[in-house]
């Protein structure tokens, strides 16, 4: 390929800027319309530990506070997303609408960044003669199609996947700053690019590929060769490479395996996982073109279907070879075609125990695919083709609106998931959990847990939750205890199983055995307020009031405002003859739960002493 001259791009005219501003406004309005029903979507699945139970986001200004996410959440090693959730919590507590508003804002910013990147790139000297006149229209079409594509819903509507959209935002803005640096104020724009890359490294591990993608972009659109790019911007690329140090530090802080869910030391079967990625890539490609059958959670079923994955290899391998050839012979097309594989490389190479396929991973790769499709359509059909694509964007927006209906409750999203992925044991277990929270659905929940165990016999959570479902019927208490013990045999370090076994033993009058199990649960999960409080109750039943009171106070230190613990502590203090202290606890309960009959009665009793 001939070298591309490093000449400043044409500066947009005032009419061009006005058209760009109009396009940005319309993009924001279209996205808001497509996602207008998402604001009431509840916290789902990983949202619970990562947001509702995440103590590190409770204090925005504490240090390290939100910059040191809990290792037990999917935000581990990802301080910037965790900080963003701390901002949400500071502004609105656990009101879900605020979290969705910020997710949607990030998505709009990503669409704007994509628009700016495409527009500025098409105005570069190497491309302006061919595309400069339609730069705004091309960029707007790409941004509309991508922003309204339903494949993005998992990264926007599922709150915890903000990590994906934030990573994409920093990825796109880094490239945007790079292309802007070719038009003036080079040092300032390069500094901004390095900062964006650094922020990306603190957001998600897939940004590890960004310095390489930036160099490939430079070679393709700015300088024409790798050697020229490195000569002209040596300090810039050294600075980008240095951002890897932050990523290494953050990954190391997770134990190199994100609490055992990802990494070469996570125990995932490497060969099976890598083979399954052929099926994953084929699925991503199909959903990009025709987004039918979107699935919230794929689980690990692909690991058990090597034949399907190998069949997908016959599709994927020729595409990869074609892309590699295009990188050499037609670099501009090759860059757009290669970028999805570059972005997906970390999740395709590093095993993820919980999911072999995940739609949120395609959030950024989809942008490159859409840009390639828009440029191809314009090349073949001109502006008329773009009108057709804008019509398709409207249809995609309707599909996005419909897809968001599936998220309206935990039960609905998991029903949809098990319908589309019936071999996913985790989905059946999650549906069972959702049903278990509904009244009178214990039998249906138990059936889902049994389905999960039929698919995956070594599944301590499903075994434990089946026990919980059965324990709702007093006559099945012994059967429930058997399931809790089975879960503990599978995983002796599973705190929830010890906790539930302790509760069941306490209900059956086996107080000393209950105390022993609750002590084990407390040792395994010392930050669990429920465990401390229930252990306190069991100790009081055993006549050890002072020890029980101390456990209840420990529960309240962990979770201030824990009404049940205040009530139980009041009862223990009353039993100890400490009536004034007991009255204060019952008053606190009534402040939290006005009109609570039990607290009202106990308060009257304490005051009468």
Q: What is the pLDDT of residues 554-588, one digit of tens each?
A: 999 999 999 999 999 999 999 999 999 999 999 99
User: Which among 468, 424, 432, 473 has a CA at the least distance from the CA of 449?
Assistant: 432
What count of Cα atoms within 13 Å lies in the side-chain half-sphere of residue 588?
19
Cα–Cα dist 533/292, whole Å: 47
User: What secondary structure does DSSP assign to 29-71, as a single string?
Assistant: HHHHHHTTTGGGPPP-TTHIIIIIT-GGGS-TTSSSGGGS--T
Determine the pLDDT at residue 6: 47
User: Which among 402, 397, 431, 398 has a CA at the least distance from the CA of 414?
Assistant: 431
- Distance from chain centroid for Cα 277: 20
Contacts of 250 (CB under 8 A, 6+ apart): 77, 78, 79, 201, 202
Determine the pLDDT at residue 259: 65
Cα–Cα dist 13/330, whole Å: 30
CA angle centred on 120, ends 118 and 126, rounded to 5°: 95
Integer angstrom CA distances of residue 308 from 280, 312, 316, 425: 10, 6, 12, 19
User: Which among 122, 137, 208 has a CA at the least distance from the CA of 167?
Assistant: 208
Integer angstrom CA distances of residue 147 from 33, 214, 552: 11, 23, 49
User: Which among 469, 252, 210, 237 has a CA at the least distance from the CA of 339?
Assistant: 210
Determine the pLDDT at residue 149: 98
User: Which among 274, 293, 275, 273 has a CA at the least distance from the CA of 283?
Assistant: 293
Cα–Cα dist 606/32, whole Å: 55
Determine the pLDDT at residue 5: 47
Contact, 159 vs 100, CB < 8 A? yes
Share of the chain above pLDDT 70, in %: 96
**Over residues 305-321, mean pLDDT:** 94
Decide if pLDDT at 2 tops 50.
no
Cα–Cα dist 401/405, whole Å: 7
Decide if pLDDT at 113 tops 70.
yes
> What one-character DSSP code corresponds to residue 73?
S
Name beta bridge partners: 352: 262
Phi, psi of 126 (to 5 degrees): -70, -20
Provide the sign of the torsion angle of the four alpha carbons 131, 133, 135, 140, taken in this order. Answer: negative
Range with the poorest average pLDDT among 62-76, 160-174, 318-332 = 62-76
User: For the CA atoms of the chain, what is the radius of gyration?
Assistant: 28
Cα–Cα dist 296/408, whole Å: 13
User: Which among 122, 220, 113 has a CA at the least distance from the CA of 170?
Assistant: 113
In which band, very low, low, confident or very high, does the pLDDT at 62 lie, cut at 50, 70 and 90?
Answer: confident
Name beta bridge partners: 262: 352
Q: Region of 357 please: left (phi>0), alpha (psi -120 to 50) or beta.
A: beta
Contact, 477 vs 471, CB < 8 A? yes
Determine the pLDDT at residue 10: 52
Cα–Cα dist 23/137, whole Å: 8
pLDDT tens column, 333-388: 999 999 999 999 999 999 988 889 999 999 999 999 999 999 999 999 999 999 99
User: What secondary structure does DSSP assign to 148-185, as a single string?
Assistant: H-GGGHHHHHSGGGHHHHHHHHHHHHHHHHHHHGGGS-
Cα–Cα dist 468/504, whole Å: 9
Q: Determine if the peptide bond prior to 524 is cis (ω within 30°).
A: no
Determine the pLDDT at residue 158: 98
Contacts of 141 (CB under 8 A, 6+ apart): 374, 386, 389, 390, 393
User: Which among 139, 236, 142 has a CA at the least distance from the CA of 182?
Assistant: 236
pLDDT tens column, 119-173: 999 999 989 999 999 999 999 999 999 999 999 999 999 999 999 999 999 999 9
* Domains, the chain, with CATH or none: 19-43+94-405 (no CATH), 409-526 (1.25.40.10), 539-609 (1.25.40.10)
Share of the chain above pLDDT 90, in %: 86
Decide if pLDDT at 312 tops 60.
yes
In whole numbers, what is the pLDDT of the chain averaged over residues?
94
Contact, 224 vs 230, CB < 8 A? no
Determine the pLDDT at residue 9: 55
Decide if pLDDT at 264 tops 80.
no
């Amino acid at each position: 390929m001939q070298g591309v001259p490093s000449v400043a791009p044409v500066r947009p005219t005032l009419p061009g800027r006005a058209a760009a501003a109009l396009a940005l406004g319309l993009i924001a309005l279209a996205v808001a319309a497509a996602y207008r029903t998402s604001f009431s979507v509840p916290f789902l699945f990983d949202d619970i530990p990562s947001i509702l139970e995440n103590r590190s986001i409770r204090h925005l200004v504490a240090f390290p506070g939100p910059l040191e996410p809990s290792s037990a959440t999917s935000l581990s090693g990802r301080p910037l997303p965790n900080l963003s959730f701390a901002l949400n919590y500071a502004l609105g507590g656990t009101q879900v609408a605020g979290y969705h508003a910020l997710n949607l804002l990030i998505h709009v910013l990503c669409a704007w960044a994509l628009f700016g990147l495409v527009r500025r790139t098409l105005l570069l000297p190497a491309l302006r003669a061919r595309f400069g006149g339609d730069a705004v229209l091309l960029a707007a079409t790409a941004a509309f199609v991508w922003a309204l594509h339903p494949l993005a819903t998992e990264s926007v509507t599922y709150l915890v996947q903000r990590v994906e959209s934030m990573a994409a935002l920093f990825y796109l803005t880094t490239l945007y700053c790079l292309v802007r640096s070719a038009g003036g104020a080079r040092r300032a724009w390069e500094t901004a690019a390095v900062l964006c890359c650094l922020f990306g490294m603190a957001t998600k591990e897939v940004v590890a590929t960004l310095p390489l993608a930036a160099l490939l972009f430079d070679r393709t659109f700015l300088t024409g060769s790798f050697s020229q790019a490195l000569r002209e911007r040596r300090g810039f690329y050294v600075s980008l490479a240095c951002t890897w140090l932050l990523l290494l530090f953050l990954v190391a802080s997770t134990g190199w395996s994100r609490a055992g869910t990802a990494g070469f030391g996570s125990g995932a079967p490497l060969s099976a996982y890598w083979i399954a990625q052929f099926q994953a890539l084929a699925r991503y490609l199909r959903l990009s073109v025709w987004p039918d059958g979107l699935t919230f959670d794929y689980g690990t079923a692909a690991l058990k279907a090597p034949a399907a994955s190998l069949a997908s290899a016959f599709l994927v391998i020729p595409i990869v070879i074609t892309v590699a050839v295009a990188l050499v012979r037609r670099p501009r097309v090759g860059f757009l075609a290669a970028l999805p594989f570059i972005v997906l490389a970390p999740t395709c190479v590093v095993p993820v125990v919980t999911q072999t396929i995940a739609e949120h991973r395609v959030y950024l790769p989809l942008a490159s695919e859409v840009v390639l499709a828009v440029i191809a359509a314009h090349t073949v059909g001109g502006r008329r083709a773009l009108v057709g694509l804008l019509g398709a964007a409207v249809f995609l927006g309707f599909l996005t609106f419909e897809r968001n209906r599936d998220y309206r409750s935990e039960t609905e999203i998991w029903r949809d998931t098990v319908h589309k992925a019936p071999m996913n044991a985790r989905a059946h277990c999650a549906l069972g959990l959702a049903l278990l929270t509904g009244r009178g659905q214990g039998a249906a929940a138990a059936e889902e847990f049994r389905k999960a165990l039929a698919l995956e016999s070594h599944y301590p959570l499903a075994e434990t939750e089946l026990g919980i479902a059965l324990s709702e019927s007093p006559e099945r208490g012994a059967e429930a205890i058997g399931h809790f013990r089975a879960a503990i045999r599978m995983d002796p370090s599973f705190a929830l199983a010890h906790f539930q076994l302790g509760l069941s033993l306490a209900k059956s009058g086996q107080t000393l055995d209950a105390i022993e199990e609750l002590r084990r649960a407390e040792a395994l999960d010392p930050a669990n307020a429920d465990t401390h409080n229930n252990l306190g109750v069991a100790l009081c039943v055993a006549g050890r009031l002072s020890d029980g009171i101390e456990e209840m106070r420990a529960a309240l230190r962990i979770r201030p405002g824990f009404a049940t613990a205040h009530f139980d502590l009041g009862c223990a203090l009353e039993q100890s003859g400490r009536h004034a202290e007991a009255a204060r606890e019952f008053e606190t309960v009534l402040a939290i739960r006005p009109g609570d009959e039990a607290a009202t009665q106990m308060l009257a009793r304490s005051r009468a002493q």
